[in-house]
Amino acid sequence: FLFTDTQIVKEGFLEDINNMLNSGEVPNLFEGDTYEQVQNGCRNDAAKAGINPSDRDAVYYFFINRVRSKLHLCVCMSPVGEAFRRRCRMFPSLVNCCTIDWFTKWPPMALLSVAQQCLQPLQNQDIIDKIS
């Protein structure tokens, strides 16, 4: 899942991501019928994993652990300006629960080389030349 700082319409988005990174869940995300769908969808797999399928809390935590192991987030933020520092202070899991890769400006030839490598499976040199 790719999430960039230009998609942050409300700071609540980052609060949800912070919670997911920290605990694996967004509080009060599943209610009523949706919660029941999660329970029903995970019950068999939880039982196969040795979890009592009638223990609703255990099935839910099985689901949360599965989400934590399978969900991958790529959060892209510009470090320029006060917004980045403020967000790191307000949502510490962005720093504490993530692997941070800092990228400086790439030379044009490096960008071209990476683009050509990624486009190579197209096996259409005309398209590759037009795009790059």
Render pLDDT for 47-74 as a digit per residue (tens, 0 to 9).
Answer: 999 999 999 999 999 999 998 888 888 8
- What pLDDT, on the 0 to 100 scale, is given for residue 126? 79
- What pLDDT, on the 0 to 100 scale, is given for residue 41? 94
Neighbours of 17 (CB within 10 A): 21
Residue 124 has what DSSP assignment?
Answer: -
Measured distance between the N- and C-terminal CA atoms of the chain, rounded to whole angstroms: 26
Helix (H, G, I), strand (E, B) or coil at 54: coil
Question: Looking at the predicted structure, is the pLDDT value of residue 32 above 90?
Answer: no
Spell out the domain ranges in the chain: 2-101, 104-132
Backbone angles phi, psi at 75, to 5 degrees: -105, 120
Question: Looking at the predicted structure, is the pLDDT value of residue 119 above 90?
Answer: no
Contact 77, 4 (CB under 8 A): yes
CATH class of 2-101: alpha beta
Residue 49 has what DSSP assignment?
Answer: T
Q: Give the integer Cα–Cα distance in Å for 67 and 127.
A: 38
Handedness of CA 33, 34, 37, 43 (dihedral sign): negative
User: Parallel, antiparallel, or unpaired: how do β-strands 74-76 and 2-4 relate?
Assistant: parallel
- What pLDDT, on the 0 to 100 scale, is given for residue 132? 60
What average pLDDT is seen over the chain? 89
pLDDT tens digits, one per residue of 77-110: 988 889 999 999 999 999 999 998 888 888 999 9
17 falls in which pLDDT band (50, 70, 90)?
very high
